[in-house]
Amino acid sequence: MNENSKKERVPIPKYTLGEELISSISHGAGALLGVAALILCVIRAAKHGDTYAVVGGAVFGAALILLYATSTIYHALRPNLAKKVFRVLDHCMIYLLIAGSYTPITLVTLRPTVGWWLFGAIWAAAAVAIVFNAIDVEKFSVLSMICYIAMGWAVVVTFKPLVAAMPRAGVWLLVAGGIAYTVGAVIYGVGAKVKYMHSLWHFFVLAGSIFHFFCIYLYVM
């Protein structure tokens, strides 16, 4: 494979220095919040003596840290091979976070009814999406977006048992997070064409994560 084909396969979007700074700082803050989320969720779950909650909280917190740290590094790097590698990793981490966000809900709130099969389905979908992004970010961009939306809203198929098991406030926080991520996806779609839209997408992702943290910390852990 020659250098030209590599460039086509993992092109680097052209953002201004200001955009890259905002993206790096916002998701750098997200990484720090991810560390706090990991600690708080695990401690709260451990106090209740629920092993599934401890595992779920740890996976959720770790996924937050990995996504936001990877995104921060990607936007902080200069255009080079390392930035291309981190662009691929950045895309892959999105699906890791989606699956990581589902983990405590499926292992705690929805277990033992539909939790296990939703857990397996989401992680399988995440694995497939990660593989396609690792193969070619651009070629499978439409499929990746479909996976993003479908995985994010897959919880609706378990809405009845979810509402029965989770307090209403927790459900609303979960839905609010999903809406924030979805609106962010629309903004991401025009991010390369309109200045600072990609940076705005970062704030919607951060908002979605914050909503989901409070849902999981207060009503799952």
| The predicted structure's pLDDT at residue 1 | 41
CA distances from 67 to 28, 60, 61, 103 (A): 10, 11, 10, 16
Residue found under tokens 């916002």 = 26
| The predicted structure's pLDDT at residue 191 | 65
CA 66/CA 203 separation, integer angstroms: 17
- Asked whether residue 13 carries a pLDDT value surpassing 80, the answer given is no
User: Torsions phi, psi of 79, nearest 5?
Assistant: -60, 105
**pLDDT per residue over 54-93, tens digit each?**
999 999 999 999 999 999 999 999 888 899 999 999 999 9
As a whole number, the mean pLDDT across the chain is: 90
| The predicted structure's pLDDT at residue 143 | 83
CA 97/CA 85 separation, integer angstroms: 18
| The predicted structure's pLDDT at residue 185 | 86
CA 96/CA 75 separation, integer angstroms: 19
**pLDDT per residue over 183-197, tens digit each?**
988 888 776 677 888
Task: Using pLDDT thresholds of 50, 70 and 90, give the confidence band for residue 157.
Answer: very high
Which of 21-35, 48-62, 100-114, 134-148 has the weakest average pLDDT?
134-148
What domains does the chain contain, in order, with CATH numbers?
A: 13-219 (1.20.1070)
| The predicted structure's pLDDT at residue 8 | 52
Mean pLDDT for 146-174 is 93
- Asked whether residue 118 carries a pLDDT value surpassing 50, the answer given is yes
What's this model's pTM, rounded to 2 decimal places? 0.89
